[in-house]
Structure 1
């Protein structure tokens, strides 16, 4: 079986974001896994404008007007699943990440997603919000998650996750790879899944 291609997406675009260190930590733990091949993506580098496409993505059929959207679309199409590194902002998801999700649609279909969240209360409300959002794009969110506390998993500005976090992340990656493999027939069948078949 071919290893699932998984993107670790750092979903904050805020200067000095804590998510970059978290994303590197996820990637370090994912290296060498046999059932998944992992890449790290920083959302900030894609320069997506706020809802700048005139045609809703469900009807655009990947024919986007903006170059940044086309690059984002092609990038997301390459992957079978995702680890979303997401902060919690005001009891919800970060606006830039939600916009990046909303600007596409078929590219997300029949793919798996796992969450590594951070915030004052571990980002749990953002994850619960994300779970209902991704379901609308026919994604499957795995049950396991990592909830990092700004008070316990950082020492000042330095990311220093508690010892148990590695095991929690391992469970997320196990479930993510399993679900990505299970969804492969749906992606390969054409339909509204990825163009790779």
Structure 2
């Protein structure tokens, strides 16, 4: 669980694991989050991982692949708000995998096998194209922020 003594907004990370996480996230220009939906939201572990950082997320792009009984759409709706607060441009296209049609489940106590319908591939390609385009478009903002930090 989040164990830093100060909010991430300050960027004063005290723990080695947070600094490693910051370097990892800081090295990317965009993200595709793959998330299940639990209790009409994203899982706590994902939200916790996001909350560890602030500036490392800024001026980047994100897309979402979700899954659940209702395709995980409510989890993504919550994550979109979180990403907006972190200054992450989230793209419109979303891959929403239904537990009923995009998974082969023979035993409800087992996770099953992902078996997305043929319509999911072009949707995923569109999502990836949008994340790449937005990541590129936001590059000048990231560069300006890097210059401000270096100064």
* Residue 183 of structure 1: aligned partner: 138
CA–CA distance in structure 2, aligned partners of residues 88 and 66 of structure 1: 30
CA–CA distance in structure 2, aligned partners of residues 192 and 123 of structure 1: 38
CA–CA distance in structure 2, aligned partners of residues 116 and 192 of structure 1: 33
CA–CA distance in structure 2, aligned partners of residues 192 and 163 of structure 1: 45
Asked whether 1:140 is paired with 2:95, we answer no
Shift of 1:67: 1.6
TM-score normalised over the length of structure 2: 0.91
* Residue 53 of structure 1: aligned partner: 4
TM-score normalised over the length of structure 1: 0.70
CA–CA distance in structure 2, aligned partners of residues 78 and 55 of structure 1: 23
Residue deviations 1:113-154 (CA, integer Å, cap 9, x gap): 000000100000011111111100111000000000111111
Shift of 1:84: 0.2
CA contact (8 A) 1:109 1:192 kept: no
CA–CA distance in structure 2, aligned partners of residues 192 and 80 of structure 1: 16
* Residue 114 of structure 2: aligned partner: 159
Shift of 1:56: 0.8
CA contact (8 A) 1:106 1:192 kept: no
Unpaired stretches in structure 2, ≥5 consecutive residues: 106-111
Residue deviations 1:17-39 (CA, integer Å, cap 9, x gap): xxxxxxxxxxxxxxxxxxxxxxx
How many residues get paired? 144
Unpaired stretches in structure 1, ≥5 consecutive residues: 1-49
Q: Please, what is the CA RMSD of the aligned residues?
A: 1.7
CA–CA distance in structure 2, aligned partners of residues 53 and 66 of structure 1: 7
